[in-house]
């Protein structure tokens, strides 16, 4: 058992489920607990894995719509599907979905939403909150960073990080950590903020073993 946020992936296309699993496992602080290809299997997975925090739900499943699961599952939910009907989006949000991602999307889009979800959970981890905490949590959920950071162009640390990319060379979080002199988790948090703000672009680099690494570069580089 780990302290990572547990994720359930519900998609009847095993290739898509495998891709989403790879992205989830590449984001620090997240672990795929189970995969399911139907509503029935999703219900069983949640019953067997009480440590599931977030479900990524496809819309079209063999035994019904993933949107119908949102209000039923005892966990947070993202809709991750190809349904573009506006009424489906409204239904999903009304049922309690925290995000609605339309396929196909870049790896970075899902990674950014996951980072935002982690921040949302951190902000709302206490027993009581004020309005600023609520606003910060909802902003993190939507953008992956705090609204204030976006308005101000980022912290001084993030400005220093951006300067590393002036040469146009892509970097990994460990590179940034070493050059700036900050801990790797801190570097990853700032990099996630910069991706969410559109200042950097993230892609996954796959090796022969282990988790893929998150590589960062300037947009258009």
- List the chain pLDDT tens, one digit each, 221 residues: 468 899 999 999 988 999 899 888 888 789 999 999 999 999 999 999 999 999 999 999 999 999 999 999 999 999 999 999 999 999 999 999 999 999 888 777 888 889 889 989 988 988 888 888 888 888 888 766 443 344 444 578 888 999 999 888 899 989 999 999 988 878 887 887 787 677 888 887 776 666 678 889 898 76
Residue where the block lists tokens 């959970």: 121
CA distance linking residue 171 with residue 217, whole number of Å: 7
Residue the block writes with tokens 């573009």: 84
Answer yes or no: do 96 and 112 share one domain: no
**Do 101 and 163 reside in the same domain of the chain?**
no
What pLDDT, on the 0 to 100 scale, is given for residue 192? 77
pLDDT recorded at residue 153: 46
What is the model's pLDDT at position 151?
Answer: 40
Q: What is the pLDDT of residue 57?
A: 97
- Domain end among 41, 75, 105: 105
155 phi/psi in degrees, rounded to 5: -75, 170
CATH number of the domain to which 54 belongs? 3.40.50.2300
Residue-level pLDDT at 126: 81
At residue 144, the pLDDT reads 60
CA dist 89 and 20 (Å) reads 21
Residues 174 and 200 both lie in one domain: yes
**Does residue 81 sit in helix, strand or coil?**
strand
Question: What's the confidence (pLDDT) of residue 148?
Answer: 38
Q: How far is CA 144 from CA 9, 49, 114, in A?
A: 20, 27, 8
Number of domains in the chain: 2
């Amino acid at each position: 058992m780990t302290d990572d946020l547990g994720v359930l992936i519900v998609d009847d296309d095993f290739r898509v489920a495998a891709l989403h699993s790879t992205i989830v496992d590449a984001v620090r602080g997240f672990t795929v607990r189970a995969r399911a290809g139907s509503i029935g299997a999703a219900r069983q997975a949640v019953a067997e894995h009480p440590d599931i925090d977030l479900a990524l739900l496809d819309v079209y499943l063999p035994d019904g719509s993933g949107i119908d699961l949102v209000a039923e599952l005892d966990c947070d939910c993202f809709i991750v599907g190809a349904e573009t009907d506006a009424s489906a989006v409204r239904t999903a949000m009304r049922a309690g979905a925290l995000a609605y991602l339309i396929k196909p999307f870049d790896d970075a889009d899902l990674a950014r939403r996951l980072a935002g979800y982690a921040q949302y959970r951190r902000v709302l981890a206490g027993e009581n909150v004020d309005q600023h905490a609520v606003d910060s949590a909802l902003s993190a959920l939507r953008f992956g960073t705090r609204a204030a950071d976006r308005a101000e162009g980022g912290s001084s640390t993030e400005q220093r990080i951006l300067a590393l990319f002036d040469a146009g060379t892509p970097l990994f979080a460990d590179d940034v950590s070493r050059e700036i002199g900050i801990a790797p988790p801190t570097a990853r948090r700032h990099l996630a903020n910069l991706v969410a703000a559109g200042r950097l672009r993230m892609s996954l680099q796959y090796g022969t073993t282990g988790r893929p690494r998150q590589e960062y570069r300037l947009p258009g580089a």
